[in-house]
Each structure stands twice: as C-alpha cells, then as structure tokens.
Amino acid sequence: MRYPYERRQAILRILEAEGRVSVADLSRRFALSEVTIRKDLAWLEAQGLLIRTHGGALPADRNPVELAFEVRERLNREEKIRIGQAAASLVQDGDSIALDASTTAMYLARFLRDRRELTVLTNGIRVAMEFAGRPGITVLMPGGMLRWEAFSLVGTWGEDLLRRMHIHKAFVGAKGLTLEEGLTDVNPEEVRLKQAIVETAKEVIAILDHTKWGRVAFATFCPLERIRLVITDVQAPPELVEAVRRRGVEVWQV
C-alpha cells in the first residue's frame, strides 16, 4: 500500500479480526521495515486506536475506551454493507422497527431510505441522520445522555420510552456472541438500552460480522434463545454457526 493512511486502516482491520498484531508479522505482510511499522503503531496509539505492547499491539477496546465510531465504521466495511443489505430485505413498508447505534445498523439504514410509512426507533445519531429528508420515514429518538464515542443516546428516559413502544423487528449489533452468553456489549448504559429494545420487540435480529463470534463483552443484553435470526458474513466460524443453528436460531451468511 502506497499511502500510510491506507496501511493504518488495514492494520486496524487486522487487529479487529485477529485480536492482536505483531510488528514482525505486519512487516512481512506489508513488505516494509519494522521501523516503519512501529511508527504506524505509534501514530495509531496516539489517536487512541490501539494499545502498543512489546513487539506488537492490542485493540483499544481491551481497556475501557471504545474505538471511535468513525474508525469502527471503516472496519470490515464490505461485510457490514452486505449484512445491512440482507437485513433490509426483512423490512416491509408500514413496519415499526428498532435500530441500535451500531455501525452495521447505519449501513442497514442506508438500504431503507426508500421505504414508505416506516417508523424507525433508534438511539443512534448517525443512524437517524441517514433518514434525513425522507418523507416516508418517521424517526423516533429516545432522550438521554449523548455518548460521543458511539454517537448514541443512553439513559433511563430512553429506556422508559422504549418499553412503551410496539416494535415489529429489532436489529441489533453486539461486541460478542456465544452460546452461553448470547449477545453482549461493553458499555453498561448501552447494555440497558439494548435490553429495553429486546424486551419490546416481537422479533430480534442480530447483525454482526465474523469478528464478534466467540467473544464475550461486559454484559449480556439478549440471550441466544431470544434471537430469531443472525445475519453475518461467510467468515463466521463454521462450528459456532452450526451450534447456534442447533439451538434453533436461524443464521444467514452473506
């Protein structure tokens, strides 16, 4: 890759997919000196995007700081677009749906702009903005505190509103999915709001790429048996995919 920006984005994608990177491995992958790779890692750490270790780096979400939305938006972008497009096929004109503040939900929103008489409940600022100027779509947002790193609104006001709504389908991302813990996320306030979404929805549809399978984050917001469908990409671990299917949960790989 000719440009440092492209290379650094590629490093972040590898880090998200594999959970750690080493200087030696990145040097081989990019056919560059270890000095250049260390400079890239130092720059990414200065932006708060990773944590350097001896000989490599770990994701920034190994500590309480989350990756910023605009960074997560670019990670596994092609997979998220395919997942969003597949999820959009489940939404009919006249539906009432809930979208969380995940980056995958934002890509899903882009495929829903031409729906008619659609009601969208979301706590995601960026998700809501995707529907700006679309007269056929009504967007409802709960009140609460703004989480700038996630562009989301959280808090008890929003949770109370959500529990009074009647939602046909809820589309939710997650930081992790396992058989035992179901869908999990890292932020306690985001977890509580997602729990409210799950409680009020007739159907829960998980939208997450392959990097989230087999991971467990801070807390569960949706047990596996509550999920109707998981939409993921073709790189999801086959054994875990089949195990989820044996539990009665449908899985689409796109």
Give the span between the Cα atoms of 100 and 121, in whole angstroms: 8
Average pLDDT for the chain: 90
Dihedral angle of Cα 213, 243, 222, 126, to the nearest 10 degrees: 40
Give the pLDDT confidence score for residue 68 in this predicted structure.
63
Which candidate, 100, 52, 66, 70, places its Cα nearest to that of 9?
70
- 218, 191 in Cβ contact below 8 A? yes
List, for residues 155-193, the tens digit of each pLDDT value.
887 787 788 889 999 999 999 999 999 999 988 899 999
The number of CA neighbours under 13 Å toward the Cβ of 145 is 7
| Ordered structural domains, the chain, with CATH | 4-63 (1.10.10.10), 71-253 (3.40.50.1360)
- Measure the CA–CA gap between 107 and 73, rounded to whole angstroms: 9
Q: Is 94 exposed, middle or buried (0-12, 13-18, 19+ CB in 10 A)?
A: exposed
Return the pLDDT at 63. Answer: 43
CB 7 within 8 A of CB 1: yes
Amino acid letter, 116: R
Q: Which amino acid is at 10?
A: A
pLDDT at 65: 41
The per-residue pLDDT for 17 is 81
Question: Dmax of the chain from CA atoms?
Answer: 58
Span 40-60, average pLDDT: 83
Cα 164 off chain centre by: 25
| Nearest-angstrom CA–CA distance, 4 and 170 | 39
Averaged pLDDT for residues 112-123: 96
> Which residue would you say has higher pLDDT here, 81 or 69?
81
Residues 254 and 234: beta-carbon distance below 8 Å = yes
Q: What is the C-alpha separation between 55 and 24, in angstroms, rounded?
A: 8
* Residue 38 backbone phi and psi in degrees, to 5: -65, -35
**What tokens does 207 get?**
């939208």
User: What confidence tens digit (pLDDT) does each residue in 84-109 have?
Assistant: 999 999 999 999 999 999 999 999 99
pLDDT tens across 130-139, in order?
999 999 999 9
Range name among 3-12, 68-77, 116-125, 134-143 with the lowest pLDDT average: 68-77
